[in-house]
Structure 1
Amino acid sequence: MSRPLQTWQGSCHCGAVRFAIETDFPELTTCDCSICRRKNALMVKVHESRFTLLAGEASLTEYRFHTRTARHFFCSACGIYPFHRKRVTPDFVGVNVFCLEGFDPAGIPVRATVGAAMA
């Protein structure tokens, strides 16, 4: 089922980090890598041209692990994980859909991705 392209706004818990994305939500993903299992985020992948950081760049803390390629971002004030720059497709941003205002993931297919086995 094709959905129309929509603009969504999102933020961390305290609102210091705010962003907007455009997506039609073709699917949502989970990941089994060590960090994703712990943060239990549900993600949507958007091209960097469809992602805009509206506020809070100075509030972002970056974390890299394993190959140090993927860039995971957290709010330094509230600790929420709103998005990351993907390892395999670095021109895409993985967005935590639970940070999107008014978003309901019901009815969107969820695909489990393999991160733990990536060398």
Structure 2
Amino acid sequence: MLKTYHGSCHCGAVRFEADIDLAAGTGKCNCSICTKRRAWGVLLKPDQFRLLSGVDNLSDYQFGTKSGHHRFCKTCGVASYGDGHVEAIGGDYVSVNVNCLDDASDQELAEAPVNFANGRDNAWWEPPAITSYL
């Protein structure tokens, strides 16, 4: 069920709201940046995401193909969302850090299905052999 969630970075400078169906699935990946961040994301279309405050407090990190903007708060360092364009996943996207949703209940988070991606080996549509550390 689609629900509007509110989220933020740790210090509260960056705030957003997003229309998300957690029951439709979330994702974890073993690529280099996701592993280091222990990222847990949910992919959205850009019109499902609204940045409410903190645009001037965001920094941007890109690497590799530079198809994604890994945004993070300049004050606390928390990466609450990212965005970009990848044709294989439908074009423009926003990826919200599920752990930054301020009003998602423990029950909603526990019940959210997690899909795993093997980004380390560029086998994005296959789960890695081991997922317990993600």
TM normalised by structure 1 equals 0.90
Question: In percent, how many aligned pairs have the same letter?
Answer: 41
Out of 88, 108, 115, the position equivalent to 2:119 is 115
After TM superposition, give the deviation of residue 118 of structure 1 in Å. Answer: 3.1
RMSD (CA atoms): 1.5
CA distance in 1, matches of 2:26, 2:82: 15
1:10 maps to 7
Larger gyration radius, structure 1 or structure 2: 2
After TM superposition, give the deviation of residue 86 of structure 1 in Å. Answer: 4.2
2:39 maps to 41
Give the length in aligned residue pairs. 116
After TM superposition, give the deviation of residue 102 of structure 1 in Å. Answer: 2.8
Out of 97, 103, 110, the position equivalent to 1:106 is 110
SS state at 2:19 partner: strand
Structure 1: gaps of 5 or more residues: none
1:74 maps to 72
Letter in 1 for 2:78: I
CA distance in 2, matches of 1:24, 1:62: 26
CA 1:110–1:86: 2 relative to 1, 3 Å: farther
2:55 maps to 57
Q: As a proportion of its length, which structure holds more helix?
A: 2
Task: Name segments (4+ residues, structure 1) moved above 3 Å.
Answer: none
CA 1:87–1:32: 2 relative to 1, 3 Å: farther
TM normalised by structure 2 equals 0.81
Letter in 2 for 1:12: C
